[in-house]
Structure 1
């Protein structure tokens, strides 16, 4: 046996099913298909940011000739190098450990959310960021997955004691976060938090009557927001009524459809230079112009497959906390992608929502990696769990 064969067999043994190391258990228990789909999204995102980077650079460089055309591509690559180990590390956590860390993290980032109006930095008319320069981050991005897991744990306590007021308590906590987000203002994130809470209530067995009351309350809330919340007023007017400010969504749709089915080709897009935020909110339109509507449809299908795969894997899960946590996380992930794509095709008002794992952004990339790492941790399965100890392989003798 030569050295190459020995090395190959040694590597196979290290990742074989009999390997009981932490890495070996992780490799066989993780949903590798889900991990592969996320890796595909990250790779697509890196290509898309490279395509959008010259347009973003020309808009935000302030005429600085030394500003590299691929400035945002290089920074996104750096964030990916940071985010991937974070995602893998979180996915290796035991479920109980992940739950405890989420509870602690939710408390920390909720406190930071309180601090945003006081010490936060204003960017594009919104005060959502904390920090200085390169060290800026958006607390609400990190709070999303941590808060959803915390709500899942809270609602799962109902299985132990049906008399615990977990539903009203979860509603109060969600309303508190929503109020803090609307102060920034951040209407899009508010919708994400509220929708994830409703999803968890539905899974926890809330009655149709109660869900119907919530639906009516949501409609009333939208009407009140239109009359008393200027951000909602401007967005709804621009989307529904003629004469409103629809420049952003109009530009996005024109850019997305400019490339036809197969796109103008990498780097050949011209309409992207007229887009606001081409590397973040409207990167889906840049993909449409340079790679075509077919590429956009393929990306939408990848998001759909991720959501469907997680929900299917939960069908046989008996732990209510795992069901709530994983379903809530994938709801947040899928809804964020849906809102971003809906804005780009002009069927929803502008929200300032990034496209998961594709849009440029440090806070977004690392926070999404934490959320996906938690999702991978909660959907890990022991490959021997359902095998009978009495099954003996017949040798044929």
Structure 2
């Protein structure tokens, strides 16, 4: 264990808070999965869901370990190369979205021959944040021309959002908000940013008008869902989303100060998405205000470590990457909690590192791996480079040794053949 911990580089505070959130997630996920276990005449055994979540978390920590060992500067070029590929994947997802549980889930894409579904929009968000950080770090000390910034920065941003918006408004809105925050922190001219925000509002309004003009089009099918969620949030009209919110509020009210106890939630059997989108309500019901506030504090402490990591980063790109990948994670957590207590309409955003679901956990872990890579100290980087040099040297020695063995083998074979083909040589050698 000591050897394993010594191999973990970077900010130990981030490692600690991530581990605490991941470890805590097992209890509410195990409890809240009961409605899924009973769904479709199931047995009610939630052990399978717990093991599945365990697999997701273990794989997630392996992802963090792998990505934090990669020098974060490499991701500058990766973001530019991956963005066109991401657009193709998003286009395929928009056309051939997977249907899950009989519902329209066009935001999901199923990997052929594997049977695993994932949300490409989550990966697209990570790549886009790194791409924006790359652009801002490149133009940090230069005067920014608006037309050039539109071509290099905003066109890729809007192309990505166009592919995400029709099926997932909340994710598109979150990405646009976080990109806006990132470019503001990156000292993008404020007047240009106001133009872009205005263009974004006009584009969204135009999209809604097109949806009104073509109500039967599959491309605009989610617009009605957005309108109903906003209407349910602002009025008392009963709906499926209103049912979810009411059950979530009952769960939170039942928890009181200390909660009903681990595994003793009642509303988990009635609340849809209790192990993912509304898991915070189950946490408060079982662990009370103390548990709910404790989870909130952990996210705030993680945010505090992100701010420190950004301040300590040696490069502008490193500072912006920590902000661009870390802040959306915390903002998503706040949105999830706000939805559970009806401060916001239903959005479908999960609670990072706690909600069940492979895509959510793995994409969060990729972001954390890159952030931790930025926080590595100079001596840790030097140690990694030294270890890499040793591995290269050992590999070179192995190759050289193999070549020497092959050469000796060839010489030996030649000597035998020579002796057989020329007996006089054998006599002279004697």
Task: Please say whether Structure 1 and Structure 2 have the same fold, judged by a TM-score greater than 0.5.
Answer: yes
| Cα distance, 1:238–1:148 mapped onto 2, change above 3 Å | same
1:232 lines up with 2:226 in the alignment: yes
Indicate the SS of the match to 2:250: helix
Decide which of 178, 184, 187 is 1:202's aligned counterpart: 184
Indicate the SS of the match to 2:107: strand
1:340 lines up with 2:322 in the alignment: no
1:187 lines up with 2:164 in the alignment: no
Maintained 8 Å contact 1:167/1:201: no
How many pairs are equivalent? 361
Q: Rg larger in 1 or in 2?
A: 2
Maintained 8 Å contact 1:30/1:380: yes
How far residue 174 of structure 1 moved from its aligned partner, in angstroms, is: 1.7
How far residue 167 of structure 1 moved from its aligned partner, in angstroms, is: 5.0
Encode CA deviations 1:16-35: one digit per residue, 9 max, x unaligned: xxxxxxx96x64x5001111
Maintained 8 Å contact 2:309/2:375: yes
1:129 lines up with 2:112 in the alignment: no
Decide which of 55, 63, 69 is 2:46's aligned counterpart: 69
- Which moved further from structure 2: 374-383 or 273-282? 374-383
Separation of aligned partners in 1, 2:309 and 2:257: 34
In structure 2, the residue matched to 1:391 is none
Separation of aligned partners in 2, 1:77 and 1:221: 42
Structure 1 residue runs without a partner (length 5+): 1-7, 16-22, 386-397
Indicate the SS of the match to 1:125: strand
In structure 1, the residue matched to 2:327 is 331
| Cα distance, 1:223–1:250 mapped onto 2, change above 3 Å | farther
In structure 2, the residue matched to 1:170 is 153
Separation of aligned partners in 1, 2:94 and 2:266: 38
Maintained 8 Å contact 1:145/1:329: yes
Maintained 8 Å contact 2:310/2:320: no
In structure 1, the residue matched to 2:271 is 275
Decide which of 261, 265, 268 is 2:261's aligned counterpart: 265
Maintained 8 Å contact 1:87/1:372: yes
How far residue 122 of structure 1 moved from its aligned partner, in angstroms, is: 2.1
1:111 lines up with 2:88 in the alignment: yes
Maintained 8 Å contact 2:265/2:285: yes
Decide which of 38, 52, 56 is 1:79's aligned counterpart: 56
1:98 lines up with 2:75 in the alignment: yes
| Cα distance, 1:81–1:250 mapped onto 2, change above 3 Å | same
Structure 2 residue runs without a partner (length 5+): 212-222, 382-430
Maintained 8 Å contact 1:225/1:233: no
Indicate the SS of the match to 2:139: helix
Indicate the SS of the match to 2:26: helix
In structure 2, the residue matched to 1:154 is 135
Separation of aligned partners in 1, 2:269 and 2:323: 38
Separation of aligned partners in 2, 1:101 and 1:209: 30
Indicate the SS of the match to 2:165: helix
Encode CA deviations 1:130-164: one digit per residue, 9 max, x unaligned: 22674222111222222211121122221365456
Encode CA deviations 1:62-98: one digit per residue, 9 max, x unaligned: 0033x62233211101111211111111011112223
Q: Residues 349-360 of structure 1: matches in 2 within 5 Å? A: 349-360=345-356
